[in-house]
Amino acid sequence: MREKLIAMATAARQAARIVSAAGAVLKNNALQNMADGIEKNTAEILAANTQDLEAAKIAGVSSVLLDRLMLNEKRIHEMAQGLREIAELPDPVGEVEHETARPNGLRIGRMRVPIGVIGMVYEARPNVTADAAGLCLKAGNSVILRGGSEAVHSNRMIGKFVSQGLQAAGLPEAAVQVVETTDRQVVAELLTLDGYIDCVIPRGGKKFLNWVARTASVPVIRHGDGNCHVYLDSPVDLSMAEEIAFNAKVQRPGVCNAMETLLVHQETASKVLPELFSRLSEAGVELRGCERARKIHPAVKAATAADWETEYLDLILAVRVVEDLDSAIKHIADYGSGHSEAIVTADYLHAERFLREVDAASVLVNASTRFTDGAQFGLGAEIGISTQKLHARGPMGVRELTTQKFIVRGRGQIRT
Amino acid sequence: MREKLIAMATAARQAARIVSAAGAVLKNNALQNMADGIEKNTAEILAANTQDLEAAKIAGVSSVLLDRLMLNEKRIHEMAQGLREIAELPDPVGEVEHETARPNGLRIGRMRVPIGVIGMVYEARPNVTADAAGLCLKAGNSVILRGGSEAVHSNRMIGKFVSQGLQAAGLPEAAVQVVETTDRQVVAELLTLDGYIDCVIPRGGKKFLNWVARTASVPVIRHGDGNCHVYLDSPVDLSMAEEIAFNAKVQRPGVCNAMETLLVHQETASKVLPELFSRLSEAGVELRGCERARKIHPAVKAATAADWETEYLDLILAVRVVEDLDSAIKHIADYGSGHSEAIVTADYLHAERFLREVDAASVLVNASTRFTDGAQFGLGAEIGISTQKLHARGPMGVRELTTQKFIVRGRGQIRT
């Protein structure tokens, strides 16, 4: 197993030397080829996806997970369009920033360069295979993709057309490799390939990410793990509060920027919650609340301490009535995962304090947490949303998949 | 042990909330206080340093290490001046970059914020204690400092005046804490304080850094480990080649940006090496070379494979005569540690290829590797030189000790 991965990583390293120097035209050709190949072979990809879906149904996975796993013609078309959009993004490689002349005549700048070989570990959504392949290639990296076992047939088939696209553009196929085994030990091995892999990007739940942190010796950029809050302050526009809270929970509950816990100022609770709880219940949301929330609506079950820590990724919502802004900020500091945190408020100073004091990848005022997303932020496609503090935080696009090196131009300077 | 570290880290987290919001005036006052305290108490610090030096001599450490450990009035003055210079640097915290308006009216920017709680693990040079304390504080972080056991008395004494400086400025002393025990288990514990510490910055040799990578579950910014090369190309200005090679080895051999291996184009070897080898020998440098290098000068001993991998940090130099630019780039890719790599050349295309293709934190043309340094690069003081690819690469100053978060200002936007 380890030998096989080392062979893959060695091939990836050789390929990385080529794609890192390839220039935008070749890389964009490959991306267009991939998009065309995926679209032309929609039927074949759907057939592979059906195999995965049937196995998942037999295994009894939740409807939210089934939705993440499921492809259809529209989603496959979007996958191809995503690759075409990546082709149209500017190429950051080779760009030199902040070049300055020092008093001794040295010219010092920072050149943007690929990271090298990236390992990507993810679950469920097969479109990640195409997105990650496209983004890593555009940034001049090689990538080793290890999707979840539940999507193995879909990922293998997408990987096939990615390979063909690289080959047709004259780029090495080893620049994008899909690990086809479902053995979880593969992930552990990938995480310890120091010297072969420059970084691993894991996407998944909290437990999985904690295991990755303990296991990895290669650098990790932690993704996912979105225990997101919306705090309805006082004073507040009640209609705005209701709309944002409803949107953050219901518009797409299975994704990491959906709200998991609603915090409500005690003076706002009785004004906004009765109507909001009714709407949420009608939309199929299970409500779990503190004592004060339960008094407002009969549909609210009792929340336990575990609810404050849980990323449901489902139509379940925890609700807590809080004293004031400080209590809300403290709750978020205690339980938040550093993903997306929103306040709905009419108070200027409260908004500024929330923006400044809440420590998360994305802090929002009077907007739904659902906006934390590369495309919504204007960054183009994203490989995920980093919830760690180093290197990249929040939506990660092509630029965040590169690094910089200092370049120094002299004419014989020595240090005295 | 672990309980004590958790208590320190918890205090550091509380202090971080205060220093992160403290504003530049308070932080700069503390830095000035620290500088004054250190300078006024030079005698006390020298006495503590003498204790360390005497223990080190008994333990038989090398003269290079003794030099790193040694303080004198001049070095203590420089330490204080370093803190004053940090006070004069701009404060990056709170700065908002790239704020743009999206089509839906959301305003999205990136706010620069402190990382939080930093663990710093280092050896020998006691001035790192003051530098790291000053840089982390300026960036709004708390820091837990764990210096080498050989400098324990010096570090404790410097830490005392750092604490007094914080206190006199009205900032929490827990923002800078010196771990006083010499037990190495402390480092292992520090590296696994997930949730308490946001990142650890280790400085040290390759073996130590590899151990850190395997042990850590908190994010790590790897520092040090400078197996640096100078490549003398053909065509080349012979005098420039000789001066840069001599400077890179001899000017300060005990530091990470000193040259460890010299690579020489086969056509340049006979023109530059006889004179260079004589000068290096006279300067006390032990030469270890390949067969072709040995034919040039009787002082050159036979190099073994291990020499290409070794960071001597001493007056020892490995020398290899290579076929051409490609062989030099390959040698660096095979053995370099990604720190500083220099070419001396008169050929424009060779220079551009070297700049583009060599993968290191700092790539230099016609300049000594000794320039890779925060002050020399115009970044101000540095906490070290990152040799990893993520977050920060090369000299790390105040700005590199911060991170960013997205801030989003809306007026009720929801996602459709």
Query: What was the pLDDT predicted at B375?
Result: 87
CA distance, residue B411 to nearest chain A CA (Å): 5
Q: What is the pLDDT of residue A40?
A: 98
Residues A114, A70: one domain? Answer: yes
| B405 and A CB contact within 8 Å | yes
Q: Is the pLDDT of residue B301 over 90?
A: yes
Share above pLDDT 70 across residues of chain B, in percent, rounded to a whole number: 100
The minimal CB distance from B415 to the residues A251, A351, A407 is found for A251
DSSP state string for B348-371: HHHHHHHHHH--SSEEEEEE-GGG
Band the pLDDT of B378: cuts 50, 70, 90.
confident
Q: Which of B243, B393, B407 sits opposite A363 (nearest CB)?
A: B407
CA distances from A411 to A172, B105, B262, B356 (A): 38, 50, 19, 18
- Give the mean pLDDT of B306-334: 96
Residue A149 within any structural domain of the chain: yes
pLDDT at B133: 97
DSSP string spanning A17-73? HHHHTS-HHHHHHHHHHHHHHHHHTHHHHHHHHHHHHHHHHHHT--HHHHHHH---H
| Cβ contacts of A14 on chain B, cutoff 8 Å | none
| A416, part of any domain | no
Specify whether B191 is located in the same domain as B279: no
Say yes or no: B219 and B254 in one domain: no
Residues B11 and B63 in one domain: yes
At B381, the pLDDT band (50, 70, 90 cuts) reads confident
**% of chain B at pLDDT higher than 90:** 86
Which pLDDT value is given to residue A123? 82
The token duo for A102 is 């020092």
A47 falls within a domain = yes
Question: Taking a C-beta distance cutoff of 8 angstroms, is the pair B393, B386 a contact?
Answer: yes
Q: What is the pLDDT of residues A31-90, one digit of tens each?
A: 999 999 999 999 999 999 999 999 999 999 888 789 889 999 999 999 999 999 999 999
Mean pLDDT calculated for residue range B342-352: 98
Q: Distances in Å between the alpha carbon of A375 and those of A69, A82, A89?
A: 21, 10, 12
Which of residues 2 through 61 in chain A touch B, CB cutoff 8 A? Answer: 21
Return the SS3 of B336.
coil
Q: Which of A353, A387, A413 best probes binding to B when mutated, by most B CB atoms within 10 angstroms?
A: A413
CATH number assigned to the domain comprising residue B255? 3.40.309.10
CB distance A391–B390 less than 8 Å? yes
pLDDT at residue A126, as a whole number: 92
Same domain, B138 and B92: yes
Contact map slice: B 360-389 vs A, CB within 8 A: 360-368, 370-372, 376-378, 388-389
Instruction: Write the DSSP assignment of B12-62 as a string of letters.
Output: HHHHHHHHHTSHHHHHHHHHHHHHHHHHHTHHHHHHHHHHHHHHHHHHT--
pLDDT at B224 over 90: no
Residue whose C-alpha is closest to residue B181's, from B131, B145, B143: B145
Structure tokens at B393: 């690469």
Nearest to A368 among B94, B356, B415 (CB): B415
CA distances from A309 to A99, A207, B374 (A): 46, 12, 42
Residue B96 and residue A275: Cα distance in Å, rounded? 38
Tokens linked to B119: 């663990």
Answer whether B221's CB lies under 8 Å from B198's CB.
no
Residues of the domain holding B262: 228-371
Write the residue in B213, B370, B410 that is nearest to A367 by C-beta: B410
Within-domain flag for B414:
no
Q: What is the CATH number of the domain that holds A205?
A: 3.40.605.10
pLDDT of A209: 86
Residues A49 and A186 in one domain: yes
Q: What is the pLDDT of residues B167-212, one digit of tens each?
A: 999 999 999 999 987 788 889 999 999 889 999 999 887 788 889 9
Q: Is residue A381 part of a domain?
A: no
Interface check B410 vs A, CB under 8 A? yes
B379 lies in some domain: no
How far apart are the CA of A393 and the nearest CA of chain B, in angstroms?
6
Q: How far apart are CA B191 and CA B188, in angstroms?
A: 5
Q: Structural domain tally of chain A? A: 2
- Judge residue B88's burial from the number of C-beta atoms within 10 Å of its C-beta, 0-12 exposed, 13-18 middle, 19 or more buried: exposed
Question: CA-CA distance, B261 to B232, in Å (whole number)?
Answer: 11
Mean pLDDT, rounded, of chain B: 94
Is there a domain that residue B49 lies in?
yes
- What is this structure's pTM? 0.89
| Local structure of B241: helix, strand or coil | helix
Are B265 and B345 in the same domain?
Answer: yes
**CA quadruple B233, B238, B241, B246: dihedral sign:** positive
B-chain CB neighbours of A195 within 8 Å are: none
- pLDDT confidence of residue A251: 96
Q: Quick check: bond before A395 cis, omega within 30? A: no
Question: Does residue A173 share a domain with residue A105?
Answer: yes
Q: What angle do CA A248, A250, A255 make, to 5 degrees?
A: 70
Picking from B289, B296, B294, B249, the residue whose alpha carbon sits closest to that of residue B274 is B296
Closest to B79 in 3D by CA, of B113, B129, B139 = B129
> Alpha-carbon distance B145 to A127, whole Å?
44
Average pLDDT over residues A242-262: 96
> Which 278-317 residues of chain A touch chain B by CB within 8 A?
none
Average pLDDT over residues A323-352: 96
Q: What is the pLDDT at residue B82? A: 93
Residues B188 and B325 both lie in one domain = no
Among all chains, which residue has been given the structure tokens 């910055």? B201
**pLDDT value at residue A70:** 95
Question: What number of helices (H) and strands (E) belong to chain B?
Answer: 15, 17
Residue B124 pLDDT > 80, yes or no? no
Cβ contacts of B372 on chain A, cutoff 8 Å = 406, 408
Nearest neighbour of B378 by CB, restricted to A108, A248, A251: A108
Rounded Cα gap, residues B318 and B249, in angstroms: 10
**Mean pLDDT of the region B322-331:** 97
Q: pLDDT tens, B18-55? A: 999 999 999 999 999 999 999 999 999 999 999 999 99
How far is C-alpha B331 from the geometric centre of its chain's CA atoms? 24
Q: Name the residue of chain B whose CA is nearest to A198's CA.
A: B389
Regarding whether A139 and A99 lie in a shared domain, the answer is yes
| B181 plus B47 within the same structural domain | yes
User: Which residue has tokens 């503390």?
Assistant: B30
Chain A contacts in chain B segment 89-118 (CB below 8 A): 94, 100, 102, 106, 108, 111, 113, 115-116
| A68 or B403, which is more confident | B403
Question: What is the pLDDT, as a whole number, of residue A64?
Answer: 78
Cα separation, A400 vs A413, whole angstroms:
34
Confirm whether B380 is domain-assigned.
no
Q: How far apart are CA A376 and CA B393, in angstroms?
A: 29
Name the pLDDT band for A206 (thresholds 50, 70, 90): confident
Write the ipTM. Answer: 0.90
Contact residues, A window 236-255, toward B, CB-based 8 Å cutoff: 237, 240, 243-244, 246-248, 251
pLDDT digits (tens, 9 = 90+) for A259-291: 999 999 999 999 999 999 999 999 999 999 999
Residue A185: pLDDT above 80? yes
Cα–Cα nearest to A30, from A119, A114, A143, A134: A134
**Same structural domain, B251 and B277:** yes
Angle (nearest 5°) at CA A258 between A255 and A261:
135
Q: How far is B105 from chain A (nearest CA, A)?
A: 11
